[in-house]
Chains A and B, each alone.
Chain A
Amino acid sequence: MIWFWRVLSAFVRRELSALGGYRAAFVVRLLGLGLAVGSMIFLARFVGAAANPHLVGYGGNYLGFMVLGVLAAEFQQVGVSGLAQRIRTAQMMGTLEAELATPAPPWMVLGAPPMYEFGAAALRSTAYLVAATFLLGLDLKRANWGSVALAVPLVIGAFSGLGLLAAGTTMLVRRLNPVAMVIGSLSFFLSGVLYPVSVLPDWLRAVGRLLPLTHTLAVLRGALLVGAGPAALVDSFVALLIFASVLAPVGAGVFAFALRRARIDGSLSHY
């Protein structure tokens, strides 16, 4: 484990060093974040202008509902696409073969970048929440942080499992991430990122329950907006536990198979 932390910290130092060459991109990204927050403010004003029965279960607060939806969707995006994106980039840049020729096992070589991305996403999320709380009056006083803490490892397990599945598929088909595209689009549509799932017809809601993001949002919104404890959110916790227990080993198996195939067909060094 110490070895992994060495790799992770060296990776973070290298990325921060590379950021020095991306100053303009960094400014543009900050500007983009500012515009996104601005859009959320006006959308929240527009949607929240009148009482909405669909938001009663979320404290009647569309701003909080939407901010948490966007943050969780971004976390899923990082989890599902991070590793696949990293593999694609490393194959295209040509670094993957050289990294896998070192004594570090593949999970260590390929695990550090998604961890870095998760960390960066967590920082962005914290900044969003702080900004929404202090600038826009988002009320998190009732938040049940115990439920959030319980959910985090389950959510990371489920998203990482999907990420391994997506990365393995990317290596096998040598195209960027069909799994991530399908999961991302379906989740945005059916998990209730921008609107509550209660507005969906029953059959679409049933399909949405098969997606980890649906349960992630149920737990996060319940815990942070109305202070729900683990007992009140037990269905979603069980669903996330099942997703993590199934997706993580299946994803790891698919990824190990894909890595072996890459060693057979010689595709570690090309894309």
Chain B
Amino acid sequence: MPAIDLANPTLFLRLVNRVLPWLIALTVVLFAIGLFRAVNAPDDYQQGATVKIMYLHVPAAWLGMMGWGLMSVAALGTLVWRHPLSDVAGKAAAPLGAAFTFICLVTGSLWGRPTWGTYWVWDARLTSMLVLLLLYLGVMALYWTAEDPGRGSRAAAILALVGAVNLPIIKFSVDWWNTLHQPASIMRMGGSAIDPSILWPLLIMAGAFTLLFFTLHLAAMRNEILRRRVRTMQLMQAQEAHA
């Protein structure tokens, strides 16, 4: 099947129904391995057992940013090619990205208290991450409250593209400004600064969370396609009732 055929909602639904059970199984297996490795990983020599919060916080931060990246690409599809599946992908990603950004902020706060002595500080990394959450809430409001879904989708797509400016700000905030947050220690020039005994559980947990994101995203896209079909049928019913 040519890849372009997947842009057809009916074929896409068929593919999702086939792929979803495998994705769910793979996600569960990877979480089981990741959690086992995380529980049995050694404590950090400075932070002690609080390093276990990292196995949640870091993947959630990555996915919060990846969700917005995904929405930005989908926004291009909505605005340039006006493809309905792009719009469906963007709308389905928004609550997922918001949820992972929220997890990142809460776990970061809970990690910050024993490590830094404070739950929150208005430094560049934390503030730009909070801005990301507010942007997500803005996009969701545009999608869900617009009277005309088409106009709401276009407005949300524009906000998704404009908000993408925040992604490099989040990533490089620890290099550009003095922050309480530590600098990059995994993806950096010269390799990771983390010991493999802690790095591997983190990477497995990141893989598990990423699979969870895509599993939920495909399922949410399927729901959105069905919701649009319901809406079309209800409009047909209303038109016939008035005819």
Q: Do A and B bind each other?
A: no
Listed in ascending order, the chain B residues whose CB lies under 8 Å from chain A are none
